Chains A and B, each alone.
Chain A
Amino acid sequence: MSSDVTPTATPVKTTGLHIGYAEPGCRKVDPILVADGVKRTFGGLTAVDVQHVEVPRGAITALIGPNGAGKTTFFNLLTGFDKPDEGSWEFDGRSLAHIPAYRVARMGLIRTFQLTKSLGLLSVLDNMKLGAKGQTGENLFRAILPFLWRSQDKEIEAKAEDILARFKLDTKKEDYAASLSGGQRKLLEMARALMSDPTLVMLDEPMAGVNPALTQSLLDHILDLKTQGMTVLFVEHDMHMVRHIADWVIVMAEGKVVAEGDPHTVMANPAVIDAYLGSHHDSDLGAEDPEHEHVLKELLDDQQ
């Protein structure tokens, strides 16, 4: 583990992830997460309707798409926070259907949230220690006998301090998490996810609300996850970031996967531009979501 993350100008991209032509639902050489026919409707609205999608192991995969494309719903379905109407999906060869969220997390699939969920009135260190798996002292009856869990707690604390130092939060460890800035809370949430040694980290908009000074550091941490052998799947709107760090991009629109491929190819794909344009084709131009406008400009710039 590197104790200090140095900014890498050009991250090493993992290539050769897929088998055959890079089309929606294409097969991967070594998939870690496979979803088949996952469908979720809210009343008359079909939020997610994914035929088939595979997430490659040991790579950074970005999930992009316009607002309302069903990215977060898809995240919730995969992690057990929501139940699909139909479909099957498996993680590391084990089916995740009907498995509650906490058991999914114990299997090594840890997620973060779009709206950061740092536990405000717990100290930063307690936030971290909560992330560790298999703690003896978390059993009510063993909890009253400190000698049963004290030594394990010390080990967890040492590990937490090590990770906090990497994320440059070690000076804040005694503070309440509520006193951290928005960007620091994102860092804390990501650091906390690492406490359980996950195999797949799912980040829901890790950059939302993070000031530009922290962005580079967050990016480096995400790249660092890959070098440590973890798989990353993240939802993001910032196309610069996606192009910079993603090895593979999956594009969703109106609940479906509409394109897949490496970042540069995907962003030149007309289907992707359609996805962003199409979602607003009947609305007034003045009401255009500025975020989408920005993304579109970037996509169109790419084509020239």
Chain B
Amino acid sequence: MIDWGAIFSNAAQELISPTTAAYALAALGLAIHFGYTGLLNFGQAGFMALGAYGYAISTLTFHFPVWAAVLVGVGASVVFALILGIPTLRLRADYLAIVTIAAAEILRLLFTTNTFDSVTGSATGLQGYKGGFAALNPFTFEGTVGFGPWQYNAYDWWIRLVGWIVVILAAVFTWLIMRAPWGRVIKGIREDEDAVRALGKNVYSYKMQSLILGGVFGTLAGMIFVLPRAVVPANYQTSLTFFIYAILLLGGAATILGPIVGSMVFWVLLSFFSGFIARAVAAGWLPFMSQVQAGQLRFILVGVAIMLIVIFRPQGILGNKKELAFVK
């Protein structure tokens, strides 16, 4: 018999997991890039890697305190955004796409190579950088606390609390700037940058600001992402960027809450499918399939679910249907 309780409980846990928060924040950064400014950034995984490695290396190699390690990560991503943006933002949108996808791969390979093994840990990655963050934990209770399926120990609650507070702050910040005249210029650039230039706005500077801001969100997401796990370079492949794009399109590209809702739906669905398939195979419901094959099937099912949403609700869960009606 299938343990439906466990499947649903595991899926419900994904709703507030730090991974969901990290993906939501990275997708929010991408919403600023792609949804609002029209910048095709295909290197969000690179920004996340900079956050993860920036934090871990500062802590492990240089013994920086938490705040300094966060600043190093953010600083690295600002530099990364400038390097990407200075040559490409004057050109057509597709150049940024090509450069970002390549730059993110270069970063990942630099972190993987054995040459810098003493600092980056090469393919095995880094761990043991959580002490400083755990020391800041105000929760002191023993064992697990919580309600329903959400039973966690003190460290796990601390990660979730910090992760979601960062997501909420980022969402409020994005909401504030997008309703201000700054957001108006940014959306104007998405529609037609020459028209905005002809109205006396420094389009290049606005695109750069957008690239840096969304990149910093990606970097913070990278830090939240590694708090419950280790830093492993294989996590920062191009597919990470595409999962974040899937979340963004799922939630609604030019919305504030879309990336957050999209991330929750994505992870809950993924967890549900993986739990269901694994147990269905174990129960002998799918005799033609091995456990290993079942592990891959969940991505196929999530892909189908996302396709259905994009076909029948192309504006995303929270997007404005009217905006699509005019897209040429």
Contact = CB atoms under 8 A, between A and B. Distances in A.
B185 to A, nearest CB: 6
Contact of A102 (B180, B187, B190, B197): B197
A192 interface: yes
A149 B180 contact: yes
B198 A106 contact: no
Contacts of A3: none
Given A119-B187, A140-B209, A146 B198 contact: no
Interface in B20-42: none
Interface in A137-167: 137-140, 143-144, 146, 149, 153
Q: For chain B, what secondary structure do more than half of its interface residues adopt (helix, strand, loop), or is it mixed? A: helix
Contacts of B63: none
Interface in A266-296: none
Contacts of B202: 100, 102
Nearest to A179: B326
A169 to B, nearest CB: 17
Given A126-B187, A138-B181, A144-B176, 10 more contacts: A105-B197, A120-B326, A121-B191, A130-B201, A140-B213, A143-B177, A146-B176, A146-B180, A149-B180, A189-B195
Contact of B198 (A79, A122, A137, A179): A79
A143 B198 contact: no
B254 to A, nearest CB: 8
Given A130-B199, A131-B199, A146-B180, A117 B185 contact: no
A95 to B, nearest CB: 18
Contacts of B195: 113, 117-119, 189
Contacts of A113: 194-195, 198
Given A129-B181, A146-B180, A81 B201 contact: no
Interface string B309-325: 00000000000001100
B188 interface: yes
Interface string A169-190: 0000000101100000000010
B192 interface: yes
Nearest to A131: B199
Contact of B194 (A117, A121, A144, A149): A117
A193 B199 CA distance: 7
Interface string B177-213: 1001111110110111011111111110000010001
A122 B176 contact: no
Contacts of A81: 194, 197-198
B173 interface: yes
Given A143-B176, A176-B326, A101 B197 contact: yes
Contacts of A119: 187-188, 191-192, 195-196
Interface string B49-85: 0000000000000000000000000000000000000
A147 to B, nearest CB: 11
A120 B185 CA distance: 13
A122 B182 CA distance: 14
Query: Which residue, of B184, B185, B203, has the highest number of chain A Cβ atoms within 10 A?
Result: B184
28 contacts: A79-B198, A81-B197, A81-B198, A101-B198, A103-B200, A111-B198, A117-B195, A118-B195, A119-B188, A119-B196, A121-B187, A121-B323, A122-B187, A122-B188, A129-B181, A130-B188, A138-B180, A139-B182, A140-B182, A140-B209, A143-B181, A143-B183, A144-B173, A144-B176, A144-B177, A144-B180, A192-B199, A195-B199
A21 B238 CA distance: 68
B171 to A, nearest CB: 13
A166 B201 CA distance: 25
B191 A122 contact: yes
Given A137-B180, A140-B177, A143-B177, A130 B185 contact: yes
B126 to A, nearest CB: 33
A186 to B, nearest CB: 13
Nearest to A139: B182
Contacts of B322: 176
A17 to B, nearest CB: 27
A35 interface: no
Query: Which residue, of B200, B201, B202, has the highest number of chain A Cβ atoms within 10 A?
Result: B200
B182 A138 contact: yes
A120 to B, nearest CB: 5
Interface string A194-208: 011000000000000
A157 to B, nearest CB: 11
A129 B202 CA distance: 16
A130 B183 CA distance: 10
B327 to A, nearest CB: 8
Nearest to B200: A105
Contacts of A129: 181, 184
Contacts of B198: 79, 81, 101, 105, 110-113, 117
Given A140-B177, A140-B209, A130 B184 contact: yes
B204 to A, nearest CB: 8
A94 interface: no
Given A102-B197, A140-B209, A144-B173, A121 B326 contact: yes
